[in-house]
Amino acid sequence: MKNKTITGNWYTPEEYLKTKKSVVYTSLLNTSSSAGDWGGIFIRKQGGKYKVFSFYQENRGLSGFNLYIGNLLFETKKELTYTRLEAIERLAYSLKY
């Protein structure tokens, strides 16, 4: 996936990620900016592996948001249970995604 400019509200960049077939999970981990400059993670399933990436959205005012896709944080072949998703979120947050 590439960086992209998206028109919409604060939640539109995350919703855009959810429309991608390979994306199986998204989570906003930092929503403290009142401007909507938020960050989080998303997980793609590719070739039997789950790959965790960071993303960041930057408010462009009336022009919408810039969506920046970060580097691969890590990958696993294990199925994604609720407990594993919680652990992935904690790990990503501690790495400052």
For residues 19 and 80, which has the higher predicted lDDT (pLDDT)? 19
Total domains, the chain: 1
Summarize pLDDT for 59-92 with one digit per residue, the tens.
998 889 999 999 898 899 988 887 888 888 887 7
57: domain range? 4-94
Cβ atoms < 10 Å from Cβ of 2? 6
Q: Which residue has the tokens 């990436």?
A: 53
Identify the pLDDT of residue 69: 95
